[in-house]
Chain A
C-alpha cells in the first residue's frame, strides 16, 4: 500500500480536533499540507495567515502563550523564511508550537530546487527545546502528530508530498516520539533512516540479504532527541552504521548520528544524503537517483561500512 506522510498529518489533526485548545494555522497551503481537513471541520479554530509565514509562526506563539496548542504548517522550505521567528519567538520561550513542513526533501520533485528543502532538519535541530521529526509514512505521521500534544515545548515535523510504502500499519503502538523503531533485525550493519528513505533502506536490506549480508533497519523518525539508547545497543551488535535521508549530509540524521557515535562508540559510519548541493526538477525517483540517495546507494554504503569495519 502507498500513501503520503502529509496525509498522516491531516489525519492526525482530525484525530485531536476534539481538544478545544488545538488550533491550526495556514499560510495559503492548507490543501497541500493537508490541514484543510481540520479547517473544514473546525473553521473557527483555523487561522488563515495569508502568504505570510513569519507572521504565522508568531501568531502561533501568541496562541501557545495563552494555553492553546497551535499547529502551523506550510511547505518545509517556507517555514525556513520564518527561521528567526521560530528561533526567537517559539524555541527561546519554549512555547509548544508544532510546525509541520510538508513537501520536504528532493523527493518533492518537479517543482525544482526552490521547493526542495534539504536543510530543514539541520537548522531546526540546532535550536534548543526543539523536537525534530521526519516520519516515513502516513501512519507514523498521524501518530506523531497526535503525540505532539504531550510535548511541553515546540516541534518541527517534516512530511513528504509523494506517496511511499506504508510501513507502520497495525504497528501504531510501537510509535513514540524520541524512540526509533527497529523494523528489521540484522547483525552485519545497521541502516538508520528517516522519511522516504526508510522504505528504501528496507529494500536495500533485502538486497543485502541476497548477497549474504545481514542488515538491521531502524526508522529513526525522531532526529531530536535522538534515540541514543537504541543506537548504542545496535552498534554493539553490528559494529558499523549507514544513515540514509533525503536531506543534506550536513547536520541532519547523519550529522546527529555522527555526533553521537564520535563521542560514544566510534564505528565506521557511511552517510547517505545529499552531498552539499541543490537539486533540480525531476520526478521523485529521478531525484533520488540523481542525488545518489536511492536503494542502490544505500546498498553500496552498507558494503563500504562493513569493509571498513573488517579492515579495522
Chain B
C-alpha cells in the first residue's frame, strides 16, 4: 500500500499530549491548505475543519482503526488524518496529483483509504454507511460503521430513511451529527426545525448530546457508543455542538467577526492546551509543524499529470 509522510495516530490510551498533537497536526494541515489556496497553488475547493478537530480526533481515537469503517463527508480532512495520518497522500490528492490517495481523481471530498470513504453528496452517504454496517453485521466482523453529518445535512430525507432502517435492523451504525452552527452561509436556526437529538431518538436510536470542545469527553462518549454497538446494541447517535472557525470553503464568510472571535476562546486546541505543560506543547507543535511541512513540500515537488 502506498504511503508517505504520516502523522502519529491516537487511540483510547493516548495521553492528552498525544491527542493535542494530532489535533494540532490537523489544524496545521488545514491552515496550510487555505494558505496554498490564497497563493494560487491549489485549484477547486476545500472545506476545512478548523475548530472541529476534537470531533475527528475524539471519534477516531475511540475506534478500532484496523476493523471499523467510516464514511466521511465534504469536511473530511480531519477524519482522514485521524484515521490514517497520511498527510502527504492527502496533500497530493488535494493537489490533483498521481500520487494522491485516489490518484487525484477524487480530490478533497472524495477519499478512500482502507476502511474509510468519503463523498461530496450531502445525505447520500448515510444510507451507504448504513449498508456498510449491514455488511459487517452479516459478515460477523464486529466492525462498526461511523458516518459524519452536519446540521445542514439534516435537511436530507436519506438521513431519516437510514435512521429508520438502522434502528429496525439494529445495525452497528454510529451517526455523528456535528452541529457547527452553519450550513454554508445559512445559520442552523434557518435550516433545522425542532430538536436535533429528538430526530434519531424518534427512531429509537439512543442519542448522546454534548456541547463541548473537549476531545477527551468526545472520545469517552464515542467509546461508550462503540462498545455498546460492538455488543450488538444497535445504532447510536452522537450529537456534537461546536463552531466552524474558518470559512465554509475558502474565503466565503459573512458571519459576524465578533462571534467568530468569541468562538476562538472555546476552540478545542486552546481548551486542551491550557491543561498541558507549555514546554511539552511547544515541542509537540514543532514536531508536527515539521512533519506537515515535510509532507507539504514533498507533495508540492511531486509530479503532476501530463497530457
Chain A complexes with chain B: no
Chain B residues at the A interface, C-beta cutoff of 8 Å: none
Chain A residues at the B interface, C-beta cutoff of 8 Å: none
